[in-house]
Amino acid sequence: MPVSIRILLTAALLSSAASAQAHFQLLYTPQLNHADPATLPFRMVFTHPAGNGKVMDMADPEAFFVVHREERTDLLGQLKPITWQGSENQGRAFEAEIPVRRNGDYVFVLTPAPYLEEGEGYIQQFTKTIVNRGGAPTDWNEPVGLPAEILPLVKPYALYAGMIFSGQVLSDGEPVPGAEIEVEFMNHDVILEQNTLRAEGHLDFPSPAFETFVTQADANGIFHFAVPRAGFWGFAALDIGPVTEYQGEALSQEAVIWVQAHELR
């Protein structure tokens, strides 16, 4: 393995974020692989998934769509507001039920409205979750033209625990050298019927510093992360978008992608 990749993997697994809990926009559906036609339940929540921390109220999203075989379908009208119960508080979130019928990839994209974090400015996380139906790959490695985007270089729905996930960070379609990427494990199972997370987590973190890992992209905006455990992992490239101000406050436009790893059996 090249030295540069070993260094990146070591940083990804051992570095922790300056903040114990990172903000992550969830675009959650329980399974990213489907052999048969299905109707997918989605939950869209702005929270801290590793620690089951504070839930931030979401305003009405700006966009929600899916790309399948290069065709984009608007899904914004399918969203319904819900109340999400976190371990600390309740917050406004959204749900949707979306059918997938044809074989191929379905690239789901959520553009939330900017969220004001008091004392820090606005945060807007352009979020992708990619679902496959029938095993036929079609759209997973194509950009969708977001202001801030993580382009997967490995199928995000076909990972085993222990494999390397690689991605490229893009701002308006151009690579972002040295981009900072936060990584969190979705430590608590989702209880869809109750719009909440299970209280018991899969991992006992030695300290809050272990809840968020940090790595950096190389000169071409590419990063690597060895996924150590089965489950959902979120990757957030911070402060990379072209727009830096919103309603007179600083704006951090960020890119998020969710991947699902499976146990090798």
Q: pLDDT means per 10 residues in the chain (265 residues)? A: 42 40 92 98 96 94 98 98 94 98 98 94 98 97 98 98 98 98 96 95 91 96 97 98 97 98 93
pLDDT score at 9: 43
Asked whether the whole model's pTM tops 0.85, one would answer yes
Pairs from 186-193 (Cβ < 8 Å, separation ≥ 24): 186/28, 186/49, 186/50, 186/231, 186/232, 186/233, 186/234, 187/49, 187/50, 187/51, 187/52, 187/211, 188/49, 188/52, 190/28, 190/30, 190/43, 192/30, 192/41, 192/43
pLDDT score at 64: 98
pLDDT score at 14: 38
Q: Please state, in angstroms and rounded to a whole number, the distance separating the CA atoms of residues 38 and 32.
A: 11
pLDDT score at 119: 87
pLDDT score at 17: 36
